[in-house]
Structure 1
Amino acid sequence: MAKPRVFVSSTYFDLKYVRASLDVFIKSLGYEPILSEKGDIAYAHDRALDESCYREAESSDLFVLIIGGRYGSESGADAAGSKGFYERYESITKTEYETAARRDVPIYIFIESGVYAEYLTYQRNKGLESINYAHVDSVNIFRLIEEILAKPRNNQVKTFERYDDIESWLRDQWAGLFRDLLARQSESQQLTALTEQVNQLSQINETMKNYLEAVLSKTVDNSQALISSEEGRLKRARINALIRANNWFKYFNKEADIGLSRFINLVSECEGVEDFSKKIAKEGLEVRVVDHIRMTLEHSAEAKRDLVDAISIVKSNGYVDSGINVDEDSNNFTSTLNSPKFRKRRTSNKED
């Protein structure tokens, strides 16, 4: 099972104990930590070492940035030697952060309390190079914090004095993230159910419109045919709604790229799971796709149940391919009222 990948970004020597503790904590949650010193990054022989770090930061699911008193080494293959306190340059840690931010990876930012206190001092004394800052080795740390706080979102900052402050906050944040995910899934399910109800009401409204047109155009002698046609159309709409919600149809549609009408026609001719497995070979699918679908049915009891449900939905609703056209995208139907016979009848009545 895939695990959330958590990239930990910081300078190493001043924060190595924090990083080691984070490694243990992240593993205890069942997540996969990504720390360069633990061998979690695959380095490419034909690229600069830091480029491999950026690639891992970009592909991570969560990103933890820890800002201490050291700004870190300059990024890029042509990085020069030591830098002056006020000399501007891009560090590897900062570039890792910017890479994750560009991909909109959820970012959790921690700043040592002493560093943040001096950042506030820096804000009040910009341009004064006579000030000696005790907690940082480069003014670029303050510039990085300034850039982070200026972002409109994904920039929540937490100061810390001890490692426990970091672990406690991350535990709460990730629990909240999981709860939010569950809430969004619930909202999505409710929206799907509401959409289906709206679709059904739309079909009923279309039927009422057709009945009214028939009455106004005096097609009384054809009323029974119209009623039968509309009942069939509504029945087809109910089947469509039920099949769309069926998990086997969702899977089959994704794997085989077969639409709603074709799927309904297929299962309407099947007597069971084995019959379905035989008939899909005649649908013009790739052998690889057919084998994969058959293997899924063979090894998954849930898949079999969902397929049996789909067959039952179609057959229990008395599905008959009566020539009613279904537009699978717009969910619009063309009933017999719009057939040449009915149009001709309405026109003749109007002329009378």
Structure 2
Amino acid sequence: MGKAKTNKGRIGAPASPYDRPAGGKETAGPQQHLQIQYLEAFIKVGNRYSPRSRPGTGNISIRILEKARKLIAVEIDPRMAAEVTKRVQGKPEQRKLEVLLGDVIKMETLPEFDVLVSNTPYQISSPLVFKILQMPKPPRCCVLMFQREFALRLTAKPGDSLYCRLSVNSQFWAKITHILKVGKKNFSPPPLVESAVVRIEPKVGSDRPNVSFEEWDGMLRICFNRRNKTLRASWYTKEVLNMVERNYRIWCSLNNVAIDDSPVEEGEDDEVMDMDQQENVEPSPGEEPLDEEGWGGIMDVDDAGNDTTPSFFGNSNAPVPKTQSKRHKTRVALLVREKIRKVLEDDTKLADQRSGKLDETDFLKLLFAFNSENIHFS
């Protein structure tokens, strides 16, 4: 009689990198070392409050409760919320745990807290970071696990292939520190990508930029929509010109500024050239094209449900037949185009620069120049 087949090396394998082996003596393998390092990273930054995006079955949450004064766990799955609640029932940790049921990204307000720690679901990485950065009173520290490529984008510098809108925003509003790399073997079954744990410390008080986040990010969206093209190409598209004109009209209306809306005489204005035809800049060798969010990884960090990108940025790559515009050009449209030209060419001299090469000082100059021309983005 043949021997029964066994799944060698898989008996008692944990379902996640934080689960203990089922049965037998517990060993401190790479998964347990990862858990210890991850928790030590949290313990070093503070222990007052700590909401987490997904407590799951509570393996990390239980360890955090040993050190924290209070833990606010945000869980989208009712079954997981019930599981973590059951694990502390009747124990001293029960009074320190508060579970909020819902999607952390869709919550309009969160309770006040000091520290955020999360083994973040990769599909909400970008929305979570942007939600943290634009909070009026952000946590003083966040310890988060991301896909490694996403983590590298957080710390990328101007000129790097991974430098994007996410890089500018995260470094402008916070201090980003890489804590440790998490290899595929730390998970069972191994995922397709490497991971990394990072510390995000939002700037507060006098260190926090005296700039509207919506205004700043709105301008960066336009700049990085065409990351590998010049700013001239990004700002002189018909879609962007129309959007800036609408914003300028709103500003004039709110400030009781009269505008000249009379049509332009034929021949007085030159047709705006399609900058896609005027300039076709290919990515550098080894550099993959990025979407508006500046993300080209395996995980989709801005899925359709969470995307807040203006609709005109969602263009298809398929060629669209050009039709003659029936809209008459107005003098206010010419004025707006001249304001953009002045900002890019005269005031900042950045018209022929690419967003991927600019630093936060350059973008600050750009925003100040646009605001000086009464052009806003929020």
Between Structure 1 and Structure 2, the one with more helix by share is 1
Give the greater-gyration-radius structure (CA).
1
Asked whether the two chains share a fold, i.e. TM above 0.5, the reply is no
Range of TM-score over shorter length: under 0.3
Relative to the length of structure 2, the TM-score reads 0.22
